[in-house]
Amino acid sequence: MFGALDLSLGQLGDRPVLAVLGKSLALTLALFAVLGAGVWWGTDALLAAWAGKWHGALTSAAAVIVTLLAMWLLFRAIAIAVVGLFADAIVAAVEARHYPAALASAREVPFARSLRMGLASAARSVAINVLLLPAYIVLLATGIGTAALFLAVNVWLLGRDLGDMVAARQMPAEALPAWRRATGARRFLLGLAVTALFLVPFANILAPVLGAAMATHLFHRSRR
């Protein structure tokens, strides 16, 4: 895992990788800006009738609080979904440098399929965490149970999504379930490593791109 991270860091300066980093970061921030504007508009409409002269200040405060909370809770899911739209370029760059034979046999992932995978990734992350809310609440009494379950679930989700970004170039969709079952432990470790990057300030900005590159190394090394 450390070898994959080291190799991935070494390609951060590659033009295709930098292009994906810039586009994915811009799109992620734009989505949160739209969310903030939507919250502001909705809150303003609700408060205008009864909050009087205070409704402007309350609207702004609500928009800031909700947007910051959403960024804290959803940044990982949104960032991975967004980078998934452009992940093909990162995977191709890693394959070109380290796995030229795999690059020669790879199939470019159509944008429509990348979009479906990205939306499915975000929806799966939100849905599973919402379904687990009762368990999170119950486990608050244990002190660490909530954090442990949240970490385990989201590490698994992250490992799945990153692995699929690479596997989609090398195998048909119907082969993915069997491949996921065969590589569960390896992908869990990948998810754990990238989750740790998401917890580090500034490194969390690079985490989606580094995660896609690391997933490429782990995929091809597992097939050797």
| Boundaries of every domain in the chain | 2-222
What's the rounded Cα separation, in Å, for the pair 126 and 137?
A: 16
CB 6 within 8 Å of CB 217 = no
Look-up: residue for tokens 């690079």? Answer: 206
What is the model's pLDDT at position 20? 87
Rg (CA), the chain: 19
Contact call for residues 117 and 110 (beta carbons, < 8 A): no
pLDDT at 183 over 70: yes
Q: What is the pLDDT of residue 117?
A: 83
Confidence category of residue 113, pLDDT binned at 50, 70, 90: confident
* Distance, CA of 29 to CA of 207 (rounded, Å): 15
Average pLDDT, the chain: 82
Tokens of 135: 């368990």
pLDDT in tens, 35-88: 777 777 777 766 666 655 666 666 677 677 777 776 666 777 788 888 888 888
- Longest Cα separation, the chain: 68
CB 134 within 8 A of CB 145: no
